[in-house]
Structure 1
Amino acid sequence: MKSNKTYLSLILLGTFIVFSSCIILKQKEKPTLFLIGDSTVKNGKGKGDGSLWGWGSFIANFFDTEKINVENDALGGTSSRTFQTNGLWDAVLAKVKKGDFVMMQFGHNDSSPLDDTARARGTIKGIGLESKDTYNPIKKKQEVVYTYGWYMRKFINDIKAKGATPIVCSSIPRNPVKDDKVVLVNDSYASWAQEVAKAENIDFIPLNQLIKDKYATLSAEQVKTYFTEKDHTHTNEAGAKVNAALVVDGLKSLKSSKLKGYLK
């Protein structure tokens, strides 16, 4: 009798191990949507420090996470340049596999100086092939700095080489309210992001314009509710949730995006 019980226990244990292994294997087989960008995608640790949130903290709510993983690897303060030169992109790229998706949003910090002693994170304006040999006072060495478009193309080419799908979002509008009026100005980086995506024949979400279209229907007081009193670039929770929903709206409007198939 004892041997029968032992035999039965071993069968049950073996079944459990096989079942668990299948679950783990299935989990690993799921594609992943990686998000990369600046603080407007993920502010701080993505936990609402200072009541500030990026839209990437809420985008997973729109996806069927039984079928796809969503990983927010954005980092505040980064530009398309420093996300690469500081090793952040290498760490993300190492995890990207065939069938994954990488959604990127850069621009806010690219307009910074190329070689200031605070950040040294700026990129050359435009999407051309220009470069500049620059002394980086943060790293205390020479660095060849390229255009915003050059760095964006590198992201895109690296993703394609992995058999994954790149998606470009234009950056969210900043300072949308001035003198108690909704002020929606053109953003060069939003235009450059679109031009790069078009040239590389990849999906583009005009997030900048989608948000401006939303704000245009609201009063200045209503738009203010999406930001904290002292910050008009980084959204609060309400603003980040609106932006996440608009990213999804933009995704739904894409003609042949496979990522749409993973939405709830």
Structure 2
Amino acid sequence: MIQRRNFIWRTTLLLATAVVLQAFWVQTERKPVLYIIGDSTVRNGDGTGKNKQWGWGTVLHPYFDTTRIQIQNHAIGGRSSRTFMTEGRWDRIMNNLQPGDFVIMQFGHNDAGPLDDTSRARGTIRGIGDEEKEIYNPIRKVQEVVHTYGWYMRKYVTDTKAKGATAIVCSPVPRNNWQQGKIRRSNQDYGLWAKQIAEQNGAYFIDLNELVAAAYETMDTATVNTLFFGDHTHTSLPGAELNAGKVAAGIKALPKMPLQAYLKP
């Protein structure tokens, strides 16, 4: 009888311990993170719309089940594919990036600037090749080797994949520039180069430039004007929401895209 009671007691204790451990594991299980990187068209200012300009990364979260995935928008205005990296912002993400995470990236709007001017020094060499140029950076006050747009984008992709995370490259959202009744695309420069880098390095690609431009062309110009605030580049809240919707639609359309599992129905 005593042995039987001891057996029951030990069994009960083991079961209780298992339940507690399982509950602890469920509570502490890490949610994957979707990291968003880019420029002011992705996050404008501090992301609160103080200047009535918004980026699509700020309003992307309603499309996701955030009880199952964490969304971190690290985009910052004024940055190019080069300066987001040289300022150490990418290193900070890499320090936390883990297998099962996601990185969605959109650069290009600021990459066409000068390489070494005294106000920004943020430009990159055009294209996706291995060309480079050594310059003195008057902002950082250091010698710097500047690479092509594609070189920086390739590094984002390969670094992401090396960590066991998923890389998603977006072509830059279009500006409010019309030519003969059509929105001007970036399919001959940064949009094309973004696509080539994604295809050559095993990343997913969303042609955000085309998706948004096609949406604008279903509207009259007066309506499209309301989607921007202050200039032809930065979106108002409705404009950012439209762009975010196209990002979500692009994710849904990608074959075998694991991020789809975290989208709301």
When normalised by structure 2's length, the TM-score is: 0.88
Q: Look up the equivalent residue of 1:204 and give its one-letter code.
A: F
CA distance in 1, matches of 2:124, 2:217: 30
Provide the secondary structure at the position in 1 that maps to 2:78: coil
RMSD: 1.8
Give the C-alpha shift of residue 261 in structure 1.
Answer: 1.0
- Superposed, which structure 2 residues align to 1:184-199 within 5 Å? 184-187=183-186, 188-199=189-200
Q: Is residue 2:227 matched to residue 1:235?
A: no
Report what 1:14 is aligned to: none
Distance 2:23 2:223 in 1: 50
Cα distance in 2 for residues equivalent to 1:186 and 1:58: 23
The alignment status of 1:48 with 2:39, answered yes or no, reads: no
Q: TM-score, normalised to structure 1's length? A: 0.88
Specify every segment of 5 or more residues in structure 2 that has no aligned partner in the other structure, as ranges.
1-19
Distance 1:80 1:48 in 2: 23
Rg: which structure is higher? 2
Opposite residue 172 of structure 1, the aligned amino acid is V
Once the two structures are TM-superposed, the CA of residue 219 in structure 1 deviates from its matched residue by 0.5
Matched, 1:151 2:152: yes
Q: What residue is the counterpart of 2:224 in the other structure?
A: 223
Structure 1 portions without partners, runs of 5+:
1-16
Matches within 5 A, 1:15-164: 21-22=24-25, 24-26=27-29, 29-164=30-165
Does the 8 Å CA contact 1:182/1:219 hold for their aligned counterparts?
A: no
- CA displacement at 1:206 relative to structure 2: 0.3
Following superposition, the deviation at residue 186 of structure 1 comes to 2.8
| Matches of 1:233 and 1:20, distance apart in 2 | 49
Aligned partners of 2:176 and 2:225 also within 8 Å: no
Dislocated runs of 4+, deviation >4 Å = 17-24
SS at match of 2:168: strand
Q: Residue 206 of structure 1 corresponds to which residue in structure 2?
A: 207
What is the deviation of 1:232?
A: 1.5
Q: In the aligned structure 2, how far is the partner of 1:111 from the partner of 1:175?
A: 17
Counterpart residue type for residue 231 of structure 2: D
Identity, % of aligned positions: 51
Distance between the aligned counterparts of 1:118 and 1:20, measured in 2? 54
Contact 2:98 2:163 in 1 (8 A): yes
* Aligned length in residues: 244
State the SS of the aligned residue for 1:227.
coil
- Which residue identity does 2:226 align to in structure 1? T
Deviation per residue, 1:84-125 (Å, 9 max, x gap): 001011111111101000000000000010000001000000
What SS does the corresponding residue of 1:241 show, helix, strand or coil? helix
Cα offset, 1:77, TM superposition? 0.6
Cα deviation code 1:176-216 (max 9, x no counterpart)? 358xx854123110111001111112110000000011011
